Structure 1
Amino acid sequence: MTLRKYTPPALLLVALLAGSPMAQAQTKKELVAKVIQLQQPAVDALSASIARDTAARMMDAAGQALAGVPTDKREALGKQVQADIKAFYEDVQAKLHDSGVKIAPTTLGPLLEEKFSEDELKQIAVWLESPAAKKFQQLGGEMQSQLSRKLVEDTRPAVEPKLKALEQTLQKRFAQAAPAAASAPSAPASGAKPAAAPAKKK
């Protein structure tokens, strides 16, 4: 996953067109805090992307397993599986969002303070074609990498049990629908260790 997916500079340009509130900040810390505040939509987009990618992998795995289910049971089971995965996505996305709000200031703040001067932060607020704007854009990959890693680390204890619970729920559904069919494959969360699938009962 790369920063290009949510392009923070574009979000800052939107902030500029809305009236450049950052230019009113007096201190460097205030400028940094405002930049991070204006990037919250980007953090939300990253959170949704992580949750969506994980849910999509679960859906793909479930879709493959559905092929082995008798035709007369496939539609009903498919709807149940979709509901399970949707609930998983919504729960995990909310946790990722909350984590992003919490860790963005401490993760991105020091990076912005270190890499940019107060003058440069003011230039970003007005977002012209300037060396500061280009420098900020180049820094995007490092910011994305650090925030993405921290998001996964921070939410892993909450997400892994839910992922395992979802896998078990899907395995039970498939076992009830087609005892001879293979267990639903697992799809680990980004950066998380895959959960081991239970052995089939003989």
Structure 2
Amino acid sequence: MKRWIGVALLTLATLTNAQTTPAKKELVAKLLQLQQPGIENVARGLVEQVAGRMMQDAGRVLQTQVPPEKREAIGKNIEASVRKYIDESTPLLRERAVKLAPSVIGAALEEKFTEDELKQLIAWNESPVNKKYQQALPEIQSGFLQKLVAEGRPVIEPKVQALEQSIRSALSSGVAASPVSKPASAAKPAAKPASK
């Protein structure tokens, strides 16, 4: 009997924590409002990540397949297209992220945190210490990233070079097999000199 009472109390406690009250919904909404800049940054980051990958791919093609005299003009055209993509896509994805946040992030917060914990999170987000931390974070991360690149380069660079060589080899074997890419002199075997 005591065991059943314990299970019932545990179940009741779980339901109470998972229960969404108007006060809890209000706390979640406030927390989401405080986190909105971060949510918007995630959206902007996704847009810029796609643009960055496209720029890298385009840069490789420019360097390897575009005649040198045309690279600058084509590069500027690509940069303008990428900037337009970022300028048009960022607000769209940012708007979607802000709309989506309550149903995804908000629902998770309601499920995983009690009202008291939400109050603590809000207090932390509004605290001067957190604001100072958020302001210092980009500089701290930048310093860390620079140090990581400097210290990681010696161990990663050989692997990058090996990967580049492997990709070049794979591409050159595909290009060499293509009849279009063969130079005209290689198309016909050289004539043998006449023997006397």
Give the TM-score normalised by the residue count of structure 1. 0.49
Counterpart residue type for residue 43 of structure 1:
I
Please point out which of 95, 107, 130 is paired with 2:104: 107
Segments ≥4 residues shifted beyond 4 Å: none
Question: In the alignment, does 2:27 pair up with 1:31?
Answer: yes
1:108-147 aligned within 5 A: 108-127=105-124
Q: Contact 2:25/2:110 (CA < 8 Å) preserved in 1?
A: yes
Please point out which of 46, 51, 55 is paired with 1:55: 51
Tell me by how many angstroms 1:27 deviates.
1.4
Q: Which residue is 1:148 aligned to?
A: none
Cα distance in 1, alignment partners of residues 122 and 95 from structure 2: 26
Q: Which residue is 2:77 aligned to?
A: 80
Question: In the alignment, does 2:36 pair up with 1:40?
Answer: yes
Tell me by how many angstroms 1:71 deviates.
1.6
Contiguous gaps of at least 5 residues in structure 1: 1-25, 129-179, 182-202
Q: Which residue is 1:98 aligned to?
A: 95
Q: Which residue is 2:17 aligned to?
A: none
Q: Secondary structure at the match of 1:127?
A: helix
Tell me by how many angstroms 1:108 deviates.
1.2
Q: Contact 2:51/2:86 (CA < 8 Å) preserved in 1?
A: yes
Cα distance in 2, alignment partners of residues 93 and 125 from structure 1: 27
Q: Secondary structure at the match of 2:66?
A: coil
Counterpart residue type for residue 49 of structure 2:
D
Cα distance in 1, alignment partners of residues 124 and 78 from structure 2: 46
Cα distance in 2, alignment partners of residues 104 and 126 from structure 1: 20
Q: Contact 2:30/2:122 (CA < 8 Å) preserved in 1?
A: no
Cα distance in 1, alignment partners of residues 107 and 77 from structure 2: 45
Q: Which residue is 1:66 aligned to?
A: 62
- Decide which moves more: 88-97 or 59-68: 88-97
Aligned identity (percent) is: 44
Tell me by how many angstroms 1:125 deviates.
2.1
Q: Which structure has more helix as a fraction of its residues?
A: 2
Tell me by how many angstroms 1:92 deviates.
1.8
Cα distance in 2, alignment partners of residues 49 and 75 from structure 1: 27
- How many pairs does the alignment contain? 105
Cα distance in 1, alignment partners of residues 123 and 104 from structure 2: 24
Tell me by how many angstroms 1:127 deviates.
2.2
Q: Which has the larger radius of gyration?
A: 2
